[in-house]
Structure 1
Amino acid sequence: FGCSLLALCERERATVPRFVLQCIRTVERRGTPLGTGTAWGDGDSSGDSLHGMFGFSLEAWYAAPPPDEHLDLDDGRWEDIHVVTGALKLFLRELPEPLIPFSHFDKFIAAIKIQDPSLRGRCMRDLVLSLPPAHHDTMKVLFRHLCRVVEHKEENRMSVQSVAIVFGPTLLRPASEESSMAMHMVFQNQVVEHILNHYGYIFPEG
């Protein structure tokens, strides 16, 4: 973990990391609507616990993966769905450059503050489209899954707001930690809420 998204995708010759796809497919294959939602919202996804469980092997695998070897999420260590979702959240949190790059942070915050709904929607869509392919495509895959989670909010208690609280500070953060995190957090969550609520407009082919 802690590998640049662009570098990882370049190495894999893809625009979405294989690990992200594997985690999401595993969750959707195993999880009932209830299990999927609670897995994303609850569970122990702290860095210490996950690194202690399998951190070395994962980091070593990503640093120098054996030829043609794929990470086996059916291995017993991944049996608990919370381990899979926790690992993906950890992967996203430890990206040196977040899914929404530092260079776009102020632009997204400014866009979400726009009062006119139509203008705000267009600005948000254009900003997402302006992301590097690896960031754009990974965001599309992740948010498509999160939209499916939200569809079952009556069963899993994972509303748009709940998902935004979980992912807002992870996917969008300023380069400098000196700025007011509490002030930014409201807008970080609102950005995630907006993308979830307008997924079909932002990713029309999705």
Structure 2
Amino acid sequence: MDLNERKNGLTTAKTPEGASPVGPVWKPDLYKLQQEAPRPNAVFCPNRQLCYPNHYGAAFHGAMSHNEAAAVLTNDGYYLVRLSGSSENPIYTLSLKFNGKVKHYKLYYDNGQHYVGDRKFDSLTELVAHGLVTMYIECEAGPYIALMSDLAQYEKSPAYLTLNRLKRKTKDQVIQDNNGPVDYDKPHNFKVHNFKGLNWCEFCGNFLWGFTAQGVKCEDCGFSAHVKCGEKLPADCCPDLKQMRGVFGIDLTSLVKVHRTARPFVVDKCVKEVEARGLDTEGIYRVSGFAEEMDSLRMAFDRDGENADVSAIVYDNINVVAGILKLYLRLLPIPLITYEAHPAIIRAVQLQTVGEQITGLKDALTLLPPAHYNTLKFLMSHLARVVEHQNQNKMSSQNLSTVFAPTLMPTPDLTKCANALPDMTNEIAALQLLIDHQHLIFS
């Protein structure tokens, strides 16, 4: 994939016919904003003898006015609990500072949980953290949030290809078996859900932010979405596919933990096949396969897992296998080179000498999770072997870096206009260094 294939945070895999086997990738912008939001920091009461409710801890300051609270809360993220009202009818107020202003909320506690609105939290810190994230995201991307469900193209979403094409295939087979039409439409059975870990809306592709009740999940098929997005989803629930969530678009670390492997099996199988019969193929990784074959292989991986057949008997065009490897990496919710490591890698590339750059890259890669690091090491070693055959395949380390940079080191930005393309000069230079000096960087 080249830079012209990536616009406005979306990537497509082009084919010779101009078709595309996949629509938008997961949009990480809201996840990045959550990471940037202020962190909760309780301001403890200096009067340790104060008798305060145990569930508020030392963050309770007793009776305190608005002005007194504002004087104590000096930085964004600072918070405290204060008392107002009469002794017969005490009112507890949560005061916190955000965006340079102190905000006050009536605080409630019931059955071990804290809340100021509908959502309840097991700890006061979780409540404040959720509030800070929500306010920060709404402040930075309010107009985008208001429109994201309207702008979504569900038919091109990452979930649609696997779930709905398999559903249609099942439906067509039932029609053939029963010699008559079958009404397969079924509304989703959505319930508000507390998601654990990192999760994305399968309707619009945006991050499900927050720490509790981030969205809704269908109890019959497992489809996850924002509340507003769930309201716009068609009646296409397919309960028979409840356990078949596939491998594409799944967090890399989660996938390898489930399969107990060092790297995703998709990467291993595709690399092995490319090295067996594709190293001398001109334009390997630059030329994409046909859309129908790409769809077929993706569904084979989602359906058969490690038993998917990628051999020449089924897919004689090696560009299909190479394209699926790129597609798998492109659909990772968190890129192979994570957002935490990305800036450090760019800083390393900007150092003066190659020796300094190599040392800087080694330090930057320590920020990667183990599964990401092991997969990147394996991939760079493979790409170095591809470069060894560049006289035949015409793919130098610079060519490969240009192809893989938007996939491995994406730089989406909510503020970019629709036709703007990011400058990936540094990312390309970083990947070229990783390929050319992989034996030193990963030693």
TM-score (ref. length: structure 1): 0.83
Identify if the C-alpha distance between structure 1 residues 50 and 5 changes in structure 2 by more than 3 Å, giving closer, same or farther: farther
SS at match of 2:422: helix
Between the aligned residues of both structures, percent identity stands at: 31
Letter in 1 for 2:360: C
Identify if the C-alpha distance between structure 1 residues 109 and 21 changes in structure 2 by more than 3 Å, giving closer, same or farther: same
Deviation at 1:189, TM superposition (A): 0.6
Preserved contact between residue 150 and residue 159 of structure 1 (Cα < 8 Å) = yes
Task: Pick one of 383, 391, 396 that aligns with 1:146.
Answer: 383
Letter in 2 for 1:4: D
Task: Pick one of 33, 37, 44 that aligns with 2:289.
Answer: 44
Task: Pick one of 272, 288, 302 that aligns with 1:59.
Answer: 302
SS at match of 1:78: coil
> Hey, what does 1:202 align to over in structure 2?
441
Per-residue CA distance 1:170-190 (angstroms, 9 max, x = gap): 11123645467422x111111
Residue 22 (1) aligns with residue 269 (2): yes
Deviation at 1:50, TM superposition (A): 5.6
> Hey, what does 2:145 align to over in structure 1?
none
Per-residue CA distance 1:119-173 (angstroms, 9 max, x = gap): 2221101212332111111111111110011011122110111001111111112
Letter in 2 for 1:9: V
Per-residue CA distance 1:23-53 (angstroms, 9 max, x = gap): 111111123x322x532221337xx656543
Identify if the C-alpha distance between structure 1 residues 27 and 117 changes in structure 2 by more than 3 Å, giving closer, same or farther: closer
Letter in 2 for 1:10: K
Task: Pick one of 34, 48, 58 that aligns with 2:280.
Answer: 34
Preserved contact between residue 2 and residue 96 of structure 1 (Cα < 8 Å) = yes
Task: Pick one of 229, 249, 254 that aligns with 1:7.
Answer: 254
Preserved contact between residue 337 and residue 368 of structure 2 (Cα < 8 Å) = yes
Preserved contact between residue 2 and residue 95 of structure 1 (Cα < 8 Å) = yes
Relative to total residues, which structure has the larger strand share, 1 or 2?
Answer: 2
Preserved contact between residue 341 and residue 365 of structure 2 (Cα < 8 Å) = no
Larger RCO, structure (CA 8 Å, separation 6 or more): 1
Q: Counterparts of 1:198 and 1:105 in 2: how far apart (Å)?
A: 18
Q: Counterparts of 2:329 and 2:391 in 1: how far apart (Å)?
A: 27
Structure number with greater Rg is: 2
> Hey, what does 1:191 align to over in structure 2?
430
Preserved contact between residue 50 and residue 86 of structure 1 (Cα < 8 Å) = no
Identify if the C-alpha distance between structure 1 residues 175 and 120 changes in structure 2 by more than 3 Å, giving closer, same or farther: same
Q: Counterparts of 1:186 and 1:12 in 2: how far apart (Å)?
A: 36
Per-residue CA distance 1:89-122 (angstroms, 9 max, x = gap): 0001111111101121211112211223322221
Q: RMSD of the alignment, in Å?
A: 2.2
Letter in 2 for 1:11: V
Preserved contact between residue 23 and residue 88 of structure 1 (Cα < 8 Å) = yes
Deviation at 1:75, TM superposition (A): 7.1
Identify if the C-alpha distance between structure 1 residues 85 and 198 changes in structure 2 by more than 3 Å, giving closer, same or farther: same
Letter in 1 for 2:442: F
Structure 2 gaps of 5+ residues are 1-247
Counterparts of 1:118-197 in structure 2, within 5 Å, are 118-174=355-411, 176-178=413-415, 181-183=421-423, 185-197=424-436
Preserved contact between residue 284 and residue 395 of structure 2 (Cα < 8 Å) = no
Letter in 2 for 1:6: T
Identify if the C-alpha distance between structure 1 residues 193 and 10 changes in structure 2 by more than 3 Å, giving closer, same or farther: same
Structure 1 gaps of 5+ residues are none
Aligned length: 193
TM-score (ref. length: structure 2): 0.41
Deviation at 1:7, TM superposition (A): 0.6
